[in-house]
Amino acid sequence: MLISMLLIAAAGAGGFAITYLIDDDAPIMWRLAAGNIIGSAVFGTLGFFLALAVGLNAAVVIAAVLLTTSALLIFYAGDNRKKLQRNWYDAKSRLHGAPGRRSLRFAYYAFFFLLFFSFFDRSMIVSPDGIFTGGSQNLGDLPFHLGAIFSFVEVNNFPPVNPSFAGARFSYPFIADLLTAFAFKLGAGVRDAMFVQNLSWAISLVIVLERFVWKLTASRLAARLAPPLLFFSGGLGFIWFLGDYWSQSKGFFDFLWHLPKDYTIGDGFRWGNSMVVLFMTQRSLLLGMPLTLIVLGFLWKRFATENTEEAGNRIAPSPNPPVPLSPRLPFSTQAFVTGLLAGLLPLIHLHSLAVLFVVGFFLFILKPEKWVTWISFAVGVAVVAVPELIWSVSGSASETSKFFGWHFGWDKGEQNFVTFWFTNTGIFVPILLAGTYLIAMHQKAEAREGTSEGLPQSRIAAKKKQAKENRRQHDDADSAHTTHHSALLFLLPFAFLFLVSNVAKLAPWEWDNIKVLIYWFVGSIPFAALAIAFMWKKESGLWKVCASVCFVALIASGALDVWRVVSGQINYKVFDSDAVEIAEQIERRVPANSMFLNAPTYNTAIVLTGRQSVMRYPGHLGSHGIDYSTRESDVKRIYQGGSDAIALMEKYRIDHVLISPEERNLGGLNEQFFARFPIAAESGQYRLYRIR
């Protein structure tokens, strides 16, 4: 475990250093968070391509050495050392601020740390009775990720083939699982490795999102409100919760400890709380989203700056600058480096790359005069992303035609479109519209009053006071130069994402549009948070009550579902103890390159061995655009032991056949047919037959 932690530290150090190549004004806390994400992304991708050449063990060491060396080289440059020194002085000066402010900031981040610790601790639960999960939507996703992780560790699955569908390229974005495999290979338990990574990525997402919103709105309160709005997202399910409470006899707190269901997913709710349906189940998004927000923050900074060259040489003021800094990297260079980072997304989270493509296209159309920045960024993306995309699609069993089709209303079913979205997101859209209205009104007021030279003295004083506060807090200097006009324009691509996701399906399973819709939500959060912050800052107590009610209404349903997880109310068995035992026997006795036949379920014991299956869960295969119908029929015919069973086993080159409760539930199982073959492993109701 110690070695794996050192590995994470090495990756984080490399990522921390890279932040100095893309952002000159960021505080050190953001650099640590962004460095964790960038380091993980670079380490995973670099390690993958190295593993193709030298194997997993050597790749882990070489990638760690390269990242650590790159950090030293980056800081070897005088300017970057000076920037690091300035960050250190700024961080120390913050520690001497008002004790009350420091305590609030500590409590804010401590809350999220404890929340994520308790939440992701329930993702995978190992006990003598087997392997469980405490997430209501994680029953199928946990074994999928375990299958990928064990395939890298136990079978050295390079170049990766799909462990769930023999003979096909593993085109699912797998870097998050590969990073877990790296840590596992160095001695960390798979559960501990997943937990530490999920926890660190989630904390990093809080910090990255907070700064993204601050840069967009120039409101500290809006920035603080944004993470709760994301992590406790939900709709009007809390009304259903109240109805369930009043219809039974338990006390309120007793009922809270025994919630009967989720209140953001199921029974007409399809949006789902982000933590429950996305960040626990889709680990790729937990790594991909903060990386995308880092890139979006850079794009916003360039988009909102009026004079690129002038802004490119502006240095954020600091009360303790150790030495003067020379001019920054040209925007084109920073854009290229940021593009390289965005180009990592095909193997991390492909939908995030699609979102960046849409945003980048809009920004180019809206401000073509900044074409040097946009082209430099696009070239950087292409350098990394194009080879990754070519590699992932060659040999893939996914059918591209299944990833697009006209489909109105996302996953509304028979519900009315407006009613569906109001039920699922509650008052979020009205609050969002209020935020855009406030920005539009502010923009008109600025246009009437002119620049600060023509403003009343009170406004000049207010601006000076705000500027002083910004310097004291050492936030980026460019935040003060945010234009409300640019903010409204920056919302357009996210609104477009919402529109497209509601008129077409962007994946074989229409619900997977949520991988794009979540970015509409994240891109809109700054404006909704700004509206709540505006109400709270009003002197009237009634406005503060309205702000509080709106905030609670937006997070209540999601908070209920998250509470249901962290309080341990969910314990779904994924693998029983016999499945774990026979998996251990298979690892000891069966060659790693063996082909297995098992029931097409998500929780076959073969998952825990890393070995390859002829076919696993149809739900996963279908959502990845794989046509599995013929193979599914062949699997059933083999288990029925018909006249063509032997020929089919030869066709798929099957070495071992598993018979367990899952296979018996298929129906038509002919166990007598397999009795002719020797038993390779056995535990309880699990029996593995060696075919050849």
Write down the pLDDT at residue 328. Answer: 54
Cα 228 to Cα 558: distance, rounded to the nearest angstrom: 10
> Largest Cα–Cα distance of the chain, in whole Å?
95
Residue 616 near residue 601, CB atoms below 8 Å: yes
Cα 42 to Cα 291: distance, rounded to the nearest angstrom: 11
* Tokens 């097409």 found at: 600
The per-residue pLDDT for range 242-262, each reduced to its tens digit, is 999 999 999 999 999 999 999
State the alpha helices, DSSP H only, in 257-306.
274, 283-304
Length of the chain: 692
Two structure tokens written together for 179 = 């990073």
Report whether the peptide linkage leading into residue 159 is cis, meaning its omega lies within 30 degrees of zero.
yes
Statement: residue 444 has pLDDT above 70: no
Gyration radius (Cα) of the chain, Å: 27
Classify the C-alpha dihedral 634-638-642-645 as positive or negative: positive
Statement: residue 469 has pLDDT above 90: no
Cα 589 to Cα 559: distance, rounded to the nearest angstrom: 47
Phi-psi region of 395 (alpha: psi -120 to 50; beta: other; left: phi over 0): left
The per-residue pLDDT for range 391-416, each reduced to its tens digit, is 988 888 888 888 899 999 999 999 99
Residues 6+ apart with CB under 8 A from 369: none
- How far is CA 484 from each of CA 215, 218, 444, rounded to the nearest angstrom? 11, 10, 9
- At 444 the three-state DSSP class reads helix
Write down the pLDDT at residue 329. Answer: 57
Predicted confidence band at 483 (pLDDT cuts at 50, 70, 90)?
A: low
Write down the pLDDT at residue 479. Answer: 40
Write down the pLDDT at residue 439. Answer: 84
Predicted confidence band at 300 (pLDDT cuts at 50, 70, 90)?
A: very high
Cα 384 to Cα 341: distance, rounded to the nearest angstrom: 8
User: Cβ of 170: how many Cβ atoms within 10 Å?
Assistant: 22
**What percent of the chain clears pLDDT 90, i.e. is strictly above it?**
75
The per-residue pLDDT for range 258-278, each reduced to its tens digit, is 999 999 999 889 999 999 999
Identity of the amino acid at 22? I
Predicted confidence band at 452 (pLDDT cuts at 50, 70, 90)?
A: very low
**Closest CA relative to residue 302, chosen from 226, 360, 384, 223:** 360
Write down the pLDDT at residue 78. Answer: 67
**What percent of the chain clears pLDDT 70, i.e. is strictly above it?**
89
Strand partners, 99: none
Which of 152-166, 312-326, 504-518 comes out lowest in average pLDDT? 312-326
- How far is CA 436 from each of CA 288, 441, 484, 535, rounded to the nearest angstrom? 27, 9, 10, 14
* Tokens 């009315």 found at: 416
Helix or strand holding residue 613 (H, E): strand 612-613
Q: In what order do the strands lie in the sheet with 686-690?
A: 612-613, 595-597, 656-659, 686-690, 679-683
Which of 394-398, 420-424, 527-531, 566-570 comes out lowest in average pLDDT? 394-398
Helix or strand holding residue 656 (H, E): strand 656-659
Q: What is the mean pLDDT of residues 681-688?
A: 97
The per-residue pLDDT for range 49-93, each reduced to its tens digit, is 999 999 998 999 899 899 989 888 998 866 887 888 888 888 777
Statement: residue 456 has pLDDT above 60: no
Statement: residue 311 has pLDDT above 70: no
Predicted confidence band at 685 (pLDDT cuts at 50, 70, 90)?
A: very high
Residue 555 near residue 646, CB atoms below 8 Å: no
Pick the more confident residue, 322 or 549. 549
The per-residue pLDDT for range 108-158, each reduced to its tens digit, is 999 999 999 999 999 999 999 999 999 999 999 999 999 999 999 999 999
Write down the pLDDT at residue 119. Answer: 98
Which of 101-105, 109-113, 200-204, 504-508 comes out lowest in average pLDDT? 101-105
Two structure tokens written together for 234 = 């939900």
Burial level of 109, CB count in 10 A (0-12/13-18/19+)?
A: middle
Write down the pLDDT at residue 466. Answer: 54
The Cβ-side half-sphere exposure at 620, using a 13 Å CA radius, reads 26
